[in-house]
């Protein structure tokens, strides 16, 4: 039941981001010269590294799901034995990668502000910050969820299907956030 509810909720989130994409494309179509000028200020290599880290975090998240499905909350070997890591270790790594992404996004915002690309400067700034900002808020929500799931694994007397299901639905959300970012990255940084 939790899985179905999560999928239904993510469908509403999909509609929310579809609206943001529609806003972005509408403003872009109305101000193509502005877009050509402002996209030149983006740091593509920086954003690409940040994107690779976020996409890689989906893989670490999924490794944590596999451990949760095995009902293995913590590692069964040394810290360097990745194949024996439990859900907690994989989710901590995913949390760190997500935090890296948010820090990178904040750094990029600071770089763009120094280039006079701000939320209220023009249509491009508004579209850029609204789309990436809402995505960033969703990433932070996912980070909070990971902390909750990790904490729950430590508090549970016995790690069972209830805890595993919570980890799995958290991964649905994380994968969704990653897929949305891939779309945003392609639209904002790749399509000129």
List the beta strands (DSSP E) in 62-186. none
In this model, does residue 192 exceed pLDDT 80? no
- Using DSSP's 3-state secondary structure scheme, residue 28 falls into helix
Q: Is the predicted pLDDT of residue 114 greater than 90, yes or no?
A: yes
| CA separation for the pair 68, 47 (Å, rounded) | 31
> How many CB atoms neighbour CB 25 within 10 A?
13
Residue 78 phi, psi dihedral angles, 5° rounding: -70, 165
pLDDT digits (tens, 9 = 90+) for 140-190: 999 999 999 999 998 888 888 888 899 999 999 999 999 999 999 999 999
Compute, in degrees rounded to 10, the torsion defined by CA atoms 159, 164, 170, 176.
150
Q: How far apart are CA 97 and CA 56, in angstroms?
A: 8
135 near 181, Cβ under 8 Å?
yes
Would you state the structure tokens that stand for residue 59, as one six-digit string?
A: 């893989």
* Token reading at 155: 């508090």
The predicted-structure confidence for 52-106, as pLDDT tens digits, reads as follows 999 999 999 999 999 999 998 787 777 777 778 899 999 999 999 999 999 999 9
* Exposed e or buried b per residue across 43-70, where buried means at least 16 C-beta atoms within 10 angstroms of its C-beta: eeeebeebbebbbebbebbebbbebbee
Architecture per CATH, 2-190: Up-down Bundle (1.20)
Percent of the residues in the chain that have a pLDDT greater than 90, as a whole number: 67
CA–CA separation, 174 and 62 (whole Å): 10
Task: Provide the residue ranges of all domains of the chain, joining segments of one domain with +.
Answer: 2-190
């Amino acid at each position: 039941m939790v899985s179905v509810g999560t999928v239904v909720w993510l469908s509403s989130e999909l509609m929310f981001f579809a609206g943001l994409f529609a806003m972005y494309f509408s403003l872009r179509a109305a101000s193509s010269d502005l877009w050509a000028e402002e996209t030149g200020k983006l740091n593509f290599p920086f954003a690409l590294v940040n994107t690779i880290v976020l996409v890689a975090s989906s893989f670490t998240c999924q490794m944590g799901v596999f451990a949760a499905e095995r009902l293995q909350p913590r590692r069964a070997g040394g810290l360097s034995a990745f194949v024996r890591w439990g859900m907690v270790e994989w989710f901590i790594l995913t949390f760190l990668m997500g935090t890296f992404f948010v820090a990178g996004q904040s750094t990029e915002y600071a770089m763009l502000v120094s280039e006079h690309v701000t939320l209220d400067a023009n249509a491009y700034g508004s579209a850029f910050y609204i789309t990436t900002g809402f995505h960033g808020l969703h990433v932070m929500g996912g980070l909070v969820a990971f902390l909750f799931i990790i904490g729950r694994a430590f508090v549970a007397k016995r790690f069972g299907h209830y805890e595993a299901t919570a980890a799995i639905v958290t991964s649905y959300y994380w994968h969704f956030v990653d897929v949305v970012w891939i779309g945003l990255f392609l639209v904002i940084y790749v399509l000129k």
